[in-house]
Structure 1
Amino acid sequence: MNDSQSVLLVIGSGLKLYREYLVRSAAARAHAAGHRLVLINNLQPTWQHEYFDEITVVNVFDHDLLGRTARGIASRYTVVGILCWDEPLVMPAAELAAEFGVPGLSIPGVRGCRDKYSARTRLTAGGLLQPGFAMAADLSEARSAAERIGYPVVVKPRALGASMGVVLARDERELVEAFQVASDASLVGDEPFRGGAIVEEYAVGPEISIDSALHKGECLPMFIARKRTGSHPYFEETGHVVHAHDPLLKDRELLDTLAEAHRVLGIEDGITHAEVRLTERGPLIIEINGRVGGDLIPFLGMIATGIDPGEVMVDVALGQRPDTARLRAGVVGIRFGYPDHDCLVRAVHVPEDAPGLVTVSAMVAPGTTLRLPPGGYIARHSFVVCQADDVTTCEERLTTASAMIVVDADEIARKSPGSVLEMPTGLLDVDAS
């Protein structure tokens, strides 16, 4: 490990299955630059020992405790940068970056990322294309907002990720349930954003995501992912495909909109994951997240383009302009396996080989309960990642590999309306030893 007295501080490692590739690259980059890599984590480390020079375990969701722990580390080392890719922790990470005087997204920028209502308000005021929207504290306000905006509407929590609690309502009858689902889902999020829901115009068009690096306000797009969704009227993300030379990477209107949205929100240095609808009126920013993308999208991008997101994260955290030149020209996609109904999983069997298969994995252990919306979210039992030279072949390979997965599970009763939302399998920071 590294004996340097300068450190890059990482707030939360995330799951091995989803984030080890980032940690591996970030550790190599940090150590090559002569810095230690220090982790503050929520649970006892297992696989993390290989990459970090020092690990402290505290309840990172107690932000006061997290701050005191980080200051203790700063009293022993010189903190030269902060990394965080865990959605609930990006705000305290930004506050610590500001306190320590190191590059970061900026506190106003992260507020715009975490608070969807604030983002809508600021982007609208900034002149960017946005849907009609309103914050509703109760069903009565939601009804009034929907009547003013016009059906169909999307109802969503104010500050959750992964499309949790997001519901499409086509009329007043569907709005009643949609508001309840969104408001109930908000209760598992940060306390300031619990209760109520945002009601907004449904933007029609394909949805994409863009992972970008920000350096001193300059927006450098890295990966564009074409998104697949399912579980209507919910918006479960079932897969993504990244093309290294997606033509949208040369779409001036899209790139200018993306850059302007970051400027309006005050996002300066770091990594963001933007979700965009390609509407008839032009690109519409759905949201910008103050972290690298989930669902292994940066992993797909790395294989497709050769851009290493872990290295880029370290560079921007150190205040250096990253190299985002594409070194490859491939197409890589991921497809997630969902059950047809709420179930108790006995076993998941994945194929060892398939055309273009990059990696495949079960995502749950025997005995896991998977619940579909609205009783639960991200009820994934497996994923496959495949690559090809073109999008059509990549999609065909994903379909073939997905069909080879065998799930042994028992159907269980759906949760009754108003039941406590179960946190999604795979989202919690839990790793096997």
Structure 2
Amino acid sequence: MDREGVVLVVGSARQTYREYLLDSASRRQPLWLLDGAPNTWQRPYVRHTSVVPLVDQERLIPNRELLVKTAQEIAAEHRVTGVFTYDETLVVTAAHIAEALGLPGLSVDGVENCRNKHRNRLALTAAGLPQPRFAYVTTLAEAVETAAGFGYPVVVKPRGCGASIGVVRAADAGEIEAAFTVAEAASHTGAPAYEGGVLVEEYLEGPEISVDGALHRGEYQPFFLARKRIGAPPYFEEIGHTVSVDDPLLRDPEILRVLTEAHRAVGVRDGITHTEIRLTDRGPAIIEVNARLGGDLIPYIGKLATGIDPAFVAVDLATGLGPDLTRTRTTGTVGIRFLNPPVDGRILDIRLPAPGDVPGLEEAVAMVEPGAVLRLPPHDYIARFAYVICRAGSPEECDAALDAAAAAVEVDVDPIFESGDDQ
């Protein structure tokens, strides 16, 4: 059985955001899933599943020791050729499994340097790479003093949360207390290893991009570059991304230099990363390096735009193969726009346009069912009820198509007011 070998996938994550990856990965190699519950939507894509609690419910941390032990038991009976995860909370665990089984993958130390945003900053500082000025603080008084020293505006963020959760911009001294309170509270919603304290960072002006890249034996190659749209200020809710197959920034020598040296600095050699960069008047500055594929369906629109399958890349790297980054498309832009409700509330109904109703629209998808309760920052994050995907000949045309498609989506919301909110 499994003479050709199996690739371990650690956690399946949310179907809406990650099913396409599991589907494609299963077409590359047979998969063995380590997951916290029996299969439902995952069933068509996996050869075997081991149901293992992903989180230690007493300590509320990833069940690393049990997952490593389970992987070792599988490897004792079957040929395991690789291991990977696309779940932010499990990247360190996946690195420990790869190390224990002697498989290719991002190193434990390298992944920790990515997962912990403070360690990320320290590694980049040691390499002299461009990034915001920063300080890790544990009290409001330290945050106030640091922000005053940097000059406003500043960004306040937790050390270990993803998806811009708890990230807040403080425009002046009157906003720093609220920003610190939100970021510090958000730090307690993730892994306990990153609880408490926040990073206070210089705010950098300029557009933001993200780059998904492949590392094989220490050689870094970018393959998707997404231009990001952010909303809901002073928070940093990511509301959209566009990927152009021929984006000139993928050939920008300074961006490529910064990306290559950043990966050397954090100590990763084999696997996939997702790097966020702010394009400032001083040049490209690194916001963070993440030890996983991009979220927000960025790899999906990247695949639609370029023809590169990110799951194939992930599996090949996990099994020690050089990735095939050949683009099968040569022109065009694909974008996604996420839609948030106008207020906190219960979703009553969602009405979506069909492809053909809006020029360039390829997909319009509801992300929740009627009855779902969505709350905007700071009460909650990633409060999305739908998304639209459009294709066009240029970034400007794609943005216009996304605007039109988003305007064609209708939602009915029953508002919910938190205690103390204006009604």
CA shift, 1:410, in A, is 0.6
**Helix, strand or coil: the match of 2:349?**
strand
- Rounded to whole Å, the distance in 2 between the matches of 1:355 and 1:14 is 33
**Helix, strand or coil: the match of 1:163?**
coil
Aligned partner of 1:198: which letter?
L
Aligned partner of 1:342: which letter?
D
Larger mean CA deviation between 173-182 and 137-146 belongs to: 137-146
Which one of the candidate residues 46, 56, 59 is aligned to 1:52? 46
Aligned length: 411
1:168 is matched with 169
Aligned partner of 1:159: which letter?
G
Deviations 1:205-224 (A, max 9, x none): 11000001110111110111
Deviations 1:128-180 (A, max 9, x none): 01211111111111112112222211000011000000001122220000000
- Rounded to whole Å, the distance in 1 between the matches of 2:420 and 2:42 is 39
- Rounded to whole Å, the distance in 2 between the matches of 1:415 and 1:338 is 21
Instruction: Provide TM-score, normalisation by structure 1.
Output: 0.92
Q: Is the 8 A contact 1:215 1:269 kept in 2?
A: yes
Q: Is the 8 A contact 2:2 2:79 kept in 1?
A: no
Q: Is the 8 A contact 1:302 1:308 kept in 2?
A: yes
2:138 is matched with 137
- Rounded to whole Å, the distance in 1 between the matches of 2:348 and 2:400 is 28
Instruction: Provide TM-score, normalisation by structure 2.
Output: 0.95
Q: Is the 8 A contact 1:339 1:379 kept in 2?
A: yes
Larger mean CA deviation between 316-325 and 258-267 belongs to: 316-325
- The gaps in structure 1 that reach 5 residues or longer are 31-35, 418-433
Q: Is the 8 A contact 1:371 1:414 kept in 2?
A: no
**Helix, strand or coil: the match of 2:42?**
helix
Aligned partner of 1:262: which letter?
H
CA shift, 1:415, in A, is 5.8
- Rounded to whole Å, the distance in 1 between the matches of 2:352 and 2:222 is 34
**Helix, strand or coil: the match of 2:278?**
strand
CA shift, 1:3, in A, is 3.6
Q: 1:416 to 1:119 in 2, by over 3 A?
A: farther
Q: 1:40 to 1:416 in 2, by over 3 A?
A: farther
CA shift, 1:49, in A, is 1.1
Q: Is the 8 A contact 1:186 1:194 kept in 2?
A: yes
CA root-mean-square deviation: 1.3
Deviations 1:367-393 (A, max 9, x none): 111111111001111000111111122
Aligned partner of 1:392: which letter?
E
Q: Does 1:37 align with 2:38?
A: no
2:342 is matched with 340
CA shift, 1:5, in A, is 5.9
Q: Is the 8 A contact 1:5 1:77 kept in 2?
A: no
Q: Is the 8 A contact 1:11 1:84 kept in 2?
A: yes
**Helix, strand or coil: the match of 1:264?**
helix
Q: Is the 8 A contact 1:375 1:415 kept in 2?
A: no
CA shift, 1:269, in A, is 0.7
**Helix, strand or coil: the match of 1:310?**
helix
Larger mean CA deviation between 84-93 and 359-368 belongs to: 359-368
Larger mean CA deviation between 259-268 and 401-410 belongs to: 401-410
Q: For residues 267-346 of structure 1, what are the structure 2 equivalents within 5 Å?
A: 267-328=268-329, 329-346=331-348
1:426 is matched with none
Deviations 1:233-255 (A, max 9, x none): 10000100000010101100001
Q: 1:172 to 1:215 in 2, by over 3 A?
A: same
- Rounded to whole Å, the distance in 1 between the matches of 2:132 and 2:420 is 32
CA shift, 1:395, in A, is 1.2
Q: Does 1:125 align with 2:126?
A: yes
- Rounded to whole Å, the distance in 2 between the matches of 1:126 and 1:117 is 15
Q: 1:97 to 1:3 in 2, by over 3 A?
A: closer
Which one of the candidate residues 354, 361, 364 is aligned to 1:357? 361
